[in-house]
Amino acid sequence: MTDSWATFGADLHLELSAGRGLRAGLTEALREAARGGRLAPGTRLPSSRTLAADLGIARNTVAEAYAELVAEGWLTARQGSGTRVAERARARRAAAAAPVRRPARRGPSYSLMPGSPDLGGFPRAAWLSAARRALTDAPNEAFGYGGDPRGRVELREALAGYLARARGVYADPERIVLCSGFAHGLQLMTRLLRARRVREAAVEAYSLDVHRDLLARGGLRTRPLGLDASGARTGELAGLGAGVGAVLLTPAHQFPTGVALTPGRRAAAVDWARTTGGLILEDDYDGEFRYDRQPVGALQGLDPDRVVYLGTASKSLAPGLRMGWIVAPPGLVDELLAVKGRTDWTSSALDQLTLAQFITSGAYDRHVRGMRLRYRRRRDELVAAVGSRVAVSGIAAGLHAVLDLPVGTERSLLQSAAWQELALEGLARFRHPDAAMPPRDALIVGYGTPSDSAWTPTLAALRATLP
């Protein structure tokens, strides 16, 4: 069989200098590649036979060039180790342009920032097992460019069953559109609302500023709804005017105040949507994690025609998966696909197939139950550690708790946390700039963030922060 350049070992791109002999041109090209750093110290070069075949020149020419560079110290040649770029090339490059080193800023040693699960709890073994099954069973077309813009049907079917069973969502696979997380889903919905000529959206008076910014960058003015112990005051929606065509809510576990939207407030939101033709965008970011009772079902179950349900694997598994889903009302799917585009540009098909396997095998339920126990234990330990100093408000759910503070003390306690090298967030950050409610001082403690090994010292740092 005739040798071909395509079957040899490592590729090496070289441009031989014009007007010079083959050996001299090759020697200079290799020397410059090593000097300039394109060939890093320790890089193993192709054999003389392989490189000669690649370049279409005699093997002796390559061998002579290698020998000259070994003599100069640019290359090393040892029996059994082949020809490699010498370590001295690193020193020459460093001496030619020594970088200016600045002292690194030390970050906090501990973190109770909200919004993240315990990443150390990711079920690596179970996920790997699901990935193997997904890869084995994946049809050939899953590796192609195209695909349904809604995402893989296997995952949409798995989600439809799970969401109906665990969250009370009416979710036909044909009405599920996969996206790369909640933020992506909210961007798509913002574009859809703008296409419908909606100009304003209501949000909770305390809410995630990142989400408000996404709405604003999409061209929607945000109007704040008041909050109290019963959740968002949805009865105020009618008073915001006809310009408000949507409302973004966190009904199961309000972020960041930690309360649940009461049945009466849920009904008021649905009545507003039915009367005005508006849409409710439901952010069910951590609905599976309720510790004192069975989780409250999704608001979408009250009216699947007026509520757009947005879910994500960011809290239940990990944000790095970039996996989210939108359950759209029947009449909204085509509009949503129009703003999303014709191709599924979200997470990879294999990741989608893996999550489908993970759900249908029961591994997702087992993981959620295990994490629910872990987070409940952490919340109980948090309350026991700080309950004598501050009041802990909000329902026993989710991955964060609210520590209520005396008026005017939030900023000083955040400074105290910084002295303890503890990353912590205050409630003031999440306040809508147009909110009419009186300011409230509190700390938002993300007890899901630390790893198990860091939990005890992190809790100690929090205790040292509090008065």
Instruction: Report the DSSP pairing between strands 221-225 and 200-204.
Output: parallel
Same domain (yes/no): 177, 92: no
CATH of the domain at 384: 3.90.1150.10
CATH of the domain at 20: 1.10.10.10
Widest distance between CA atoms in the chain:
88
* Residue 421 within a domain: yes
**Is the pLDDT reported for residue 4 higher than 60?**
no
Same domain (yes/no): 169, 279: yes
Give mean pLDDT, residues 9-36. 78
pLDDT at 93: 45
Give mean pLDDT, residues 402-423. 95
pLDDT at 248: 98
Same domain (yes/no): 274, 184: yes
The number of folded domains in the chain is 3
**What is the percentage of the chain residues whose pLDDT exceeds 70?**
92
**Does 78 or 122 have the greater pLDDT score?**
122
Same domain (yes/no): 292, 217: yes
Of 335, 364, 393, the one marking the end of a domain is: 364
| Predicted confidence band of residue 1 (pLDDT cuts 50, 70, 90) | very low
Same domain (yes/no): 397, 299: no
pLDDT at 294: 85
Same domain (yes/no): 359, 415: no
Most confident of 15-24, 176-185, 334-343: 176-185
**Is the pLDDT reported for residue 313 higher than 90?**
yes
* Residue 103 within a domain: no
Same domain (yes/no): 318, 376: no
Region at 192 (left for phi over 0; alpha for psi -120 to 50; beta for the rest): alpha
Same domain (yes/no): 328, 396: no
CATH of the domain at 226: 3.40.640.10
**Does 186 or 46 have the greater pLDDT score?**
186
- Summarize pLDDT for 441-462 with one digit per residue, the tens: 999 999 999 999 999 999 999 9
* Residue 105 within a domain: no
pLDDT at 89: 47
AA identity, residue 85: V
| Predicted confidence band of residue 145 (pLDDT cuts 50, 70, 90) | confident
| Predicted confidence band of residue 20 (pLDDT cuts 50, 70, 90) | low
Same domain (yes/no): 65, 161: no
* Residue 104 within a domain: no
**Is the pLDDT reported for residue 344 higher than 70?**
no
Cβ neighbours for 352, distance < 8 A, ≥ 6 positions apart? 151, 152, 154, 155, 178, 323, 346
- Cα end-to-end span (Å), the chain: 81
**Is the pLDDT reported for residue 18 higher than 70?**
no
pLDDT at 393: 94
Of 314, 349, 364, the one marking the end of a domain is: 364
| Predicted confidence band of residue 105 (pLDDT cuts 50, 70, 90) | low
Helix (H, G, I), strand (E, B) or coil at 253: coil
* Residue 102 within a domain: no
* Residue 234 within a domain: yes
Same domain (yes/no): 314, 376: no
pLDDT at 10: 64
Of 337, 364, 391, the one marking the end of a domain is: 364
Cβ neighbours for 330, distance < 8 A, ≥ 6 positions apart? 175, 304, 305
**Is the pLDDT reported for residue 3 higher than 80?**
no
**Looking at 165-174, 220-229, 291-300, which range is the least confident one?**
291-300
| Predicted confidence band of residue 309 (pLDDT cuts 50, 70, 90) | very high
Find out whether 98 and 59 touch, Cβ atoms under 8 Å: no
Same domain (yes/no): 347, 375: no
Average pLDDT for the chain: 90
pLDDT at 101: 58
Give the tokens for residue 261. Answer: 């939207």
Please give the Cα distance from 467 to 465 (Å, whole number): 7
pLDDT at 73: 87
| Domain of 437, in residue numbers | 110-116+366-465
Residue in 277, 226, 216 with CA at minimum distance from that of residue 249: 226
pLDDT at 167: 95
**Is the pLDDT reported for residue 99 higher than 60?**
no
**Is the pLDDT reported for residue 188 higher than 90?**
yes
pLDDT at 177: 96
pTM to 2 decimal places = 0.85
Q: What are the phi and psi torsion angles at 462 (to 5°)? A: -65, -45
* Residue 27 within a domain: yes
Same domain (yes/no): 261, 159: yes
- Summarize pLDDT for 109-131 with one digit per residue, the tens: 999 999 999 999 999 999 999 99
* Residue 101 within a domain: no
